Amino acid sequence: MSQIIIVSVVLLWILVLVNLALTILLLRRVNAQPQVQSSPLIFGSEVSEFLKVGDDAPDFTAKTPQGDHVTFAQYAGQAVTFLFISVHCSPCRENLPRYLTIQTQARQSGEEFVLVNTNEVNEAQTFINEFAITTPIIIATEGSNSFMDDYKAPGMPFYCSIDAKGKVRSTGFPFEGNESWKLLTDLWEAKVQVEVIPI
C-alpha cells in the first residue's frame, strides 16, 4: 500500500513539473510575439499614424447639411476642433450628449467645435434630427470625400484640434483615458469658468 502512495506522489510531482515547464514555455512564446498596441478604435480602419502635433492642418472641402461648401480657410485665424462621427458608430451615439456639452464649452471659451459626419447627406440629416443637433456640423461622406483620410482619422469617434495658426495641437480618440483629450476639455471648462467669475 505504501508503495502505491509513493508512486502516486512521484507521478503527481512529475505532472506538476511538466505543467510548470509547459506554462513557462507558453509564457516565453507569448512574450516573444510582437505586442499589438490596443486602442479605443471603435468604428473604422486600422490605426496607421495620426497627424502630429505641430503639423499644418490639411485643407478640406465639405458641405453643410443645407448643401453649402465649407473649407478649412473658413476657420483661418481661430482655434477649431473637428470631431468625426458616424450614424453607424454606437460609441458616437452613446457619447453624443456629452460631446454636445463639450461643444458648448468650447464655443463659450471662444473656440470652434465642429462635428464632422461621415455619412451620406440623408443619413446625416436623419441623425441631426434624431438628436436635435443645432450646433455646427459638416458632412464629409467617407469614400467620396478625403477629409477623414487627410486628417488621418482611423476610426470614430475621433478628433483633431487645430490652433489659431492652423497647426495641429491635439488629435486622438475622445475618451476619458486619453490625456490630451482630457487636457483639451479641461482647458475649455477652465476658460468658461474664468469668464463666469464676476470681477
101-125 pLDDT tens trace: 889 889 888 899 999 999 999 999 9
- Domain annotation covers residue 136: yes
Scan for cell 476658460, then name that residue. Answer: 191
Question: Has this prediction a pTM greater than 0.85?
Answer: no
User: Grid cell 480618440 — which residue?
Assistant: 173
Q: 159, 174 in Cβ contact below 8 A?
A: yes
Same domain, 28 and 60: no
Query: Please, which pLDDT band fits residue 186 given cuts at 50, 70 and 90?
Result: confident
Distances from the Cα of 156 to the Cα of 27, 73, 171, angstroms: 34, 24, 12
Residue 44 three-state SS: strand
Residue 157 pLDDT > 70: yes
Cell, residue 3: 508503495
112 domain residue, yes or no: yes
What angle do helix axes 90-108 and 179-196 make, rounded to 10 degrees? 40
Q: Is the residue at 76 inside a domain?
A: yes
Residues 19 and 100 placed together within one structural domain of the fold: no
Give yes or no: residues 28 and 70 share one domain: no
Domain CATH for 110: 3.40.30.10
Give yes or no: residues 108 and 139 share one domain. yes
The answer to whether residue 4 sits within a structural domain is: yes
How far apart CA 93 and CA 99 sit, in angstroms, is: 10
Residue 37 within any structural domain of the chain: no
Show the domain range for 102. Answer: 43-196
